[in-house]
Structure 1
Amino acid sequence: MGGRGATSSHGKTKTKEKPRQKGHLTGDQIPKTPEETAKYIGSTVQEAKDMYNAVKTFTSNSGYGLMRDAQMGKNQSATGKKLAEQAEKYIDHAPKWGGGVTYRGVPMSKKQLAAIKAGKPVDPGLSALASWSTQEGTARGFASKGGSAHVVFVSQTQNKGTSIKHISHYAHENEVLVSKNAKYTVTSISTKPGSPYTYVYVKEN
């Protein structure tokens, strides 16, 4: 068995994976200071401050679009790009989500939904930081904000995501922040009788 600093036969140090999050942080689990955040995610205090502030900004009404648009190339905002990089860094450092199913609601056109049903590759986050929720109702609420098709993506795992409920401006949304690098494959699609929502079940690649 390898101990601290164990190396492989190729001489590379093995990085011990942080324990998975079994749910959103509550009570004494929540880091209260930059120092506690640094310990929780494994960084310097200044790095923890920068990453925390970026994630907090992402959950604001203005920061969400700014940072996602910067990643998708829809704007040339240096601030948006820097904040997105810091948020991605937070996901990379923090313990990953292991608390079960998550949902993401996306309003779409019928044409977009038809493309998914036809087997077109799906990207729920549109190659940018994406908010998922552990509450189906929250996702349904976002799916209803426009579009002619109300789509709810469902994933059993989020290996490139971490809970940010304790950081978010909207803690009631029970948010899991997922990296732009997360990729999925559709496993099934269903519409519940009498429901306006289409459920797209995905599996991480």
Structure 2
Amino acid sequence: MTFRAGRPPAGRRFLACERGLTLVEAVVAALLMTLVMVAVLGLYGRAVVYWKRSEAVADLEDHLRVSLNTLGSDLRNARTLNWLTGPPTRIQPGVAATDLFELVVPKRTVPWETETIRYSWAATGTGDTRNVLRRKVGSAVPQPIAHHITGIEVDMDAGNGLEARGLVLVTLRAEKEYRGQPVAAEVTGRFQIRVVD
């Protein structure tokens, strides 16, 4: 018996593994693979957006923590605390620019002398100059220490039982837009001051 090249012997059956794909099977396989890839890419896209948004929130929280640390350092070193708006100080959205409080602290260069630090808030400006918490040392120009601030709460914890010492509770809230969606952050700190006037 002789066989021609490329042709199966007459009467021989093909095994399932020797058969090729039909056009219908190839189209169905391609369609299923496309659906799987679209689903995977959709999930990947959502994960990237969520991750970037989480980064924006983390950056905002870090910014607020640095500002809170600056404010807390001033409060811990304060010899006097003068409320300019009265305790508790609360700033909510829609409030005009205002002075919050004033601290008398020792100078860094000459500790036996004191200087005044005044904190204020302004809702003016655009972008990173909007809703700014400012810190003014002595007669210098006020410097921004936080932006995108939507709420400030500064309050005394009077029930702490520490005669001439007190705890100041500070909460900073900020909000900014990331790709058209608002992202918000909030940090709170409790600082012990030496003398309360």
Normalised by the size of structure 2, how large is the TM-score? 0.25
Q: Quick check: which one's strand share is greater?
A: 2
Q: Which has the larger radius of gyration?
A: 2
